[in-house]
Amino acid sequence: MSTSFLTAISLAIDSIKAHRLRSFLTLLGVVIGVASVILVGAGIEGLGMTAEETTSKAFGTESYLLAQIANVGRLTPKQRAARLRNNRQLKREDLNYLRETTGEEVLYSPYAQRVDDVKRDELTLEGCNILGTAAALAEIRDVGVVDGRYFTEQEEKNKAFVAVVGDEIRTYFFPGASPLGQTIKLRGYDFVIVGVQEKLGSSFGRSQDNSVYIPDQTFEKLYGPARSMGIFARARPGMGLSLNEALETTRVAMRVKNHLGPTKEDNFDFLTPDSIRGFVDNILGLIRVVVVPVTMISLVVGGIVIMNIMLVSVTERTKEIGIRKSLGARSADIQVLVLAESFLISAMGGLMGIAVAWGLVEVLISVLEAKMRITWPYVVLAVFVSSGVGLISGWYPARRAARMDPIEALRAE
């Protein structure tokens, strides 16, 4: 008597129906394992989406940063020390030189940063990000101003005490009201708010909505000249230059200014959106390598449960196996029967796990407004692993059943 795979599946379904509670509890381990893998994957993808959106809002999509050291997050302490020794500090004369030599093709803005407290009347918001920039930064970095405007070139030249504030500044000092025309204090000076930046959220645990943008020369009046300024830049609209072409224009100009020969390395650094995305991808890749295998442990546990249940099932069906063998069933047929049941349990658990994960993701997105996205690689991985676990877990019970002596099996009670 030969048993086809379809027949084996049909018999496996009958066996599962005959022991509904036991089958459900066996499925539960696989369901939890598959759902965990998919949920973790959705969370990682959501984190990547958030980082991408935050980067484009906070850094711009076509801008780049020139600085003494720009790729801080991607450098080892030894590499950072080497850059500090080799790279020159950027001063205002470098900014003026770039504007004079390449300003017709590229827009430039200085970028200085300090952490300070912002005050208004009796209220104080600590640890705010104070940024000294040119008026051109609004165009270079696509600064989203949702209320009011960015400060003008004339205000920049006049060293005016004006500011564009982040959403956290607005909600803290002016809840439910527009802050335009109102004042905040920095270092004892009153700054008139002329604009409010769009809400950016947080990035790697740090708020990006507590920023205060002020004219760079006003910034120098408050804090003194920066030891080494950063310079944001992008291709001037209408010039037809790509980001890489604009960056190369800046690089050539800086190399000429610094009298660098063809064999000498740059003594300055650049940061681009692509390098930020690469850094974020590396972090997410590390998270995947560490977290995803850990969540798969639950699938292994589910596999152990399946193996135990199948061993129990084989013991209960000893007499049935003896009858089948006495009627001509081969060892391979018995093996297929047990494997089919083990595979079916794990496959059903995998499909139920996908449904559970999908539902939980939808709930988290709608209720908690979480950034999550289910992607097919994680779904395929979870189903593939769960099915594989089912086959592996059923292999030993199937072999044990296939090797039973039919006479001994028929004697079993």
Paired tokens of 400: 């044990």
At a CB cut-off of 8 Å and minimum separation 6, what does 39 contact?
Answer: 357, 360, 361
pLDDT in tens, 63-119: 899 998 876 556 677 777 877 788 888 999 999 999 999 999 999 999 999 999 999
Taking 70 as the threshold, does the pLDDT of residue 197 lie above it? yes
Q: Which candidate, 77, 60, 61, 64, places its Cα nearest to that of 270?
A: 64
Taking 60 as the threshold, does the pLDDT of residue 10 lie above it? yes
User: Which residues are bridge partners to 108 per DSSP?
Assistant: 233
In one-letter notation, the amino acid at residue 203 is: S
The rounded distance, in Å, linking the Cα atoms of 124 and 120 is 7
The residue length of the chain stands at 413
Paired tokens of 332: 């391979």
DSSP state of 73: G
Residue 65 phi/psi, 5° resolution? -115, 130
Paired tokens of 394: 């059923």
Share of the chain above pLDDT 90, in %: 34
pLDDT in tens, 247-269: 999 999 999 999 988 888 888 98
Residue 56 burial by Cβ neighbours in a 10 Å radius (0-12, 13-18, 19+)? middle
The overall pTM is greater than 0.75: no
Which residue in this structure is represented by tokens 């300070």? 116
- Confidence at residue 379, expressed as pLDDT on a 0 to 100 scale: 84
CB contact burial 312-343 (16+ within 10 A = b; e otherwise): ebbeebbebbbebbeeebeeebbbbbbbbbbb
Taking 80 as the threshold, does the pLDDT of residue 280 lie above it? no
The rounded distance, in Å, linking the Cα atoms of 92 and 98 is 10
From residue 211, alpha-carbon distances to 44, 114, 121, 403 in Å are 27, 10, 19, 73
Which of 146-160, 188-202, 340-354 shows the lowest mean pLDDT across its residues? 340-354
- Confidence at residue 2, expressed as pLDDT on a 0 to 100 scale: 43
The rounded distance, in Å, linking the Cα atoms of 262 and 255 is 9
- Confidence at residue 7, expressed as pLDDT on a 0 to 100 scale: 66
